[in-house]
Copies of this chain bind each other. A is one copy, B any other.
C-alpha cells in the first residue's frame, strides 16, 4: 500500500521538466499542431498533454518521451542510431562492473 505520498523534487528536476515542457510546446506551435491533434497522435488525452507542457512531474515518462519524440525533440540529443550505440557502450561497461554493491560488513565487532 502506497504511503501517503507528497514526494519532494529537487530544483534541477523541476527545472528540467519545465524546460522539456516548454520545448515541446514550442515545437508543437512550430509544427502548427493543436493540442488535441498532438495528444491524439501520442495516444494521450489533451489534459495530460497540458500537464506535460507545464512541466508537471507526475506524468508517466512514456507519455512525455512519446510526445517529445513526435514533435522531433531528440532526447539526450541523440538520434536512433546514437541511442543504440550509447546503449551498447553502457551495457559493455555494466558487464565489467561488479554485479552488486557490497557494503563493508557492518558487523565489525561492536560486541565488547
Contacts and interface: CB of A to CB of B under 8 A. Distances in A.
Contact of A16 (B26, B59, B76, B100): B76
A10 to B, nearest CB: 5
Number of this chain's copies in the assembly equals 2
Chain A facing B: main interface SS: helix
A25 B94 contact: yes
Contact of A101 (B34, B60, B86): B34
A105 to B, nearest CB: 13
> Interface centre among A18, A25, A61, A94, by most B CB within 10 Å?
A61
10 contacts: A16-B76, A19-B76, A19-B83, A29-B101, A33-B101, A34-B103, A57-B61, A58-B60, A61-B61, A61-B64
